[in-house]
Amino acid sequence: MKFGVIGAGQMGGGIAQVAAQSGFDVVVQDMKQEFLDRGKAVIQKSLGKLHEKGKLTDAPETVLGRIHFTTDLNDFADCDLVVEAIVENEQVKNELFRQLGQIVKPEGILASNTSSIPITALAAASGRPQKFIGMHFMNPVPLMGLVEVIRGYQTSDETTQMVTETAEKMGKTPLACNDFPGFVSNRILMPMLNEAIQCVMEGVAEPEAIDGIMKLGMNHPMGPLTLADFIGLDTCLAIMEVLHRGLGDDKYRPSPLLRKMVQAGLLGRKSGEGFYKY
Ligand SMILES: CC(=O)CC(=O)SCCNC(=O)CCNC(=O)[C@H](O)C(C)(C)COP(=O)(O)OP(=O)(O)OC[C@H]1O[C@@H](n2cnc3c(N)ncnc32)[C@H](O)[C@@H]1OP(=O)(O)O
Ligand SMILES: NC(=O)C1=CN([C@@H]2O[C@H](COP(=O)(O)OP(=O)(O)OC[C@H]3O[C@@H](n4cnc5c(N)ncnc54)[C@H](OP(=O)(O)O)[C@@H]3O)[C@@H](O)[C@H]2O)C=CC1
């Protein structure tokens, strides 16, 4: 099985790592060598941690040796499955899938790790809607058990079965849902994070108190503001906008504070500052 991943950011790197841990030959593409180098360093660190704890079957170098890093999209031509994990922007993803539909062999399956963008629209852009699906991993990919599998309007049963089996081979639990804005995971999670941000804006409590209340009071592993910083505030805003536009209900309106922080370049952990400093 040849497994392609587009984007060497926090999600793409994690997906490539887990695919390689599962024995697949992996190709990872990003636009610049520096993004690939950064992604590779994150994978190395994660593999080192897992090895220390006895959670890797193969040596870290063996796993890393299965991953080919490239800036050339043509390297996906002979992939059986390509998972896209680039920026959460419908136009940018559409353009990428338009190109990929012409590069990847006709029997290859294309998947998006999008958090919220309609799978059916991306499938149409790819020109192979029966062989297109949402394969939504959770962050951090090496530690989280779920893959949300989202069928587009024309996704075939064969495509769904292949992607479900692949997720299982990667040690994940695939759960199916239909193509609605934000699917299940982010339709439920993101309004909670947005509400926590609104609580900061209205002065209901300090960020530490909001996170502490949700951690100690609800047994959440991370408080909502820590989690928003971890996901990336730009990604959180993009998801809220898809929910707001797609469902047409003002209860999904992005918090003005979230919008302002993204405008200021405070994107959370990845930019060094969000609700907290890193
Ligand atoms: C936006 C979307 O579209 C969808 C999404 O993904 S939404 C986000 C979903 N994810 C979540 O909600 C995550 C919530 N958080 C958690 O479940 C947990 O905090 C967590 C699993 C991330 C970490 O577990 P934890 O026990 O709470 O924290 P922590 O002790 O810091 O981490 C456990 C260990 O894993 C390690 N670890 C963290 N990330 C790692 C990675 N990527 N690879 C390997 N090891 C990792 C840590 O270094 C730590 O190691 P030590 O025990 O040696 O210190
Ligand atoms: N963050 C999260 O918790 C989760 C995110 N997702 C989804 O996964 C996707 C990626 O998110 P995440 O990994 O957090 O984002 P990151 O910002 O960490 O990574 C995105 C990567 O893709 C690169 N990229 C952007 N545009 C292109 C392009 N046209 N071609 C190739 N590479 C490109 C980026 O480069 P550059 O550095 O130049 O921007 C970056 O390296 C999004 O769709 C997001 O919604 C899904 C689950 C969880």
Mind giving me the DSSP string for 83-117?
Answer: EE---S-HHHHHHHHHHHHHHS-TT-EEEE--SSS
The span from the CA of 178 to the CA of 196, in Å, is 27
Q: Are 187 and 181 in contact (CB under 8 A)?
A: yes
Question: Minimal CA–CA distance to 256: which of 273, 272, 243, 240?
Answer: 240
Query: pLDDT band for position 10 (50/70/90)?
Result: very high
- Kindly give the number of the ligand 1 atom that is closest to the alpha carbon of 42: 42
Span 81-92, pLDDT tens digits: 999 999 999 999
Range 111-138 average pLDDT: 98
Q: Are 228 and 238 in contact (CB under 8 A)?
A: no
Span 170-202, pLDDT tens digits: 999 999 999 999 999 999 999 999 999 999 999
pTM above 0.90, yes or no: yes
Range 2-10 average pLDDT: 97
- Kindly give the number of the ligand 1 atom that is closest to the alpha carbon of 53: 53
Choice from 143, 149, 243 to test ligand 1 binding pocket (greatest atom count within 8 A of CB): 143
The protein residue with its alpha carbon nearest to ligand 1, atom 48, reads 49
The span from the CA of 204 to the CA of 232, in Å, is 23
Residue 32 is predicted with a pLDDT of: 97
Q: Are 185 and 148 in contact (CB under 8 A)?
A: yes
Structural domains of the chain sorted by starting position, each given as residue range(s) with its CATH number in brackets: 2-178 (3.40.50.720), 185-271 (1.10.1040.10)
The span from the CA of 174 to the CA of 157, in Å, is 15
ipTM attached to this prediction: 0.94
Range 107-132 average pLDDT: 98
* Closest-approaching ligand to the CA atom of 140: 1
Range 42-52 average pLDDT: 98
With a 6 A CB cut-off, is 234 part of the ligand 2 pocket? no
The protein residue with its alpha carbon nearest to ligand 1, atom 26, reads 221
Question: Minimal CA–CA distance to 76: which of 25, 112, 11?
Answer: 25
CA-based angle 207:208:209, to the nearest 5? 90
The span from the CA of 147 to the CA of 221, in Å, is 19
CA of 270 to the centre of ligand 2 (A): 11
CA–CA distance from 18 to each of 12, 108, 131, 227 (Å)?
10, 20, 22, 22
Span 126-167, pLDDT tens digits: 999 999 999 999 999 999 999 999 999 999 999 999 999 999
Question: Minimal CA–CA distance to 225: which of 204, 248, 245, 246?
Answer: 204
> Phi first, then psi: what are they for 2, rounded to 5°?
-105, 120
* Closest-approaching ligand to the CA atom of 117: 2
Residue 118 is predicted with a pLDDT of: 97
Ligand-binding annotation for 139, yes or no, is yes
Residue 166 is predicted with a pLDDT of: 98
Q: Are 151 and 120 in contact (CB under 8 A)?
A: no
Q: Are 194 and 182 in contact (CB under 8 A)?
A: no
CA of 140 to the centre of ligand 1 (A): 6
Beta-bridge mates of residue 6:
29, 84
> Phi first, then psi: what are they for 70, rounded to 5°?
-150, 160
The binding-site residues of ligand 1, defined as CB within 6 angstroms of any ligand atom, are 46, 49-50, 115, 138-140, 142-144, 185-186, 189, 221-222, 227, 231
Share of the chain above pLDDT 90, in %: 100
Could you give the residue numbers annotated as active site? 115, 136, 148, 186
Ligand-binding annotation for 162, yes or no, is no
The span from the CA of 8 to the CA of 130, in Å, is 26
Residue whose pair of structure tokens reads 């520096």 in the numeric block:
34
Span 199-244, pLDDT tens digits: 999 999 999 999 999 999 999 999 999 999 999 999 999 999 999 9
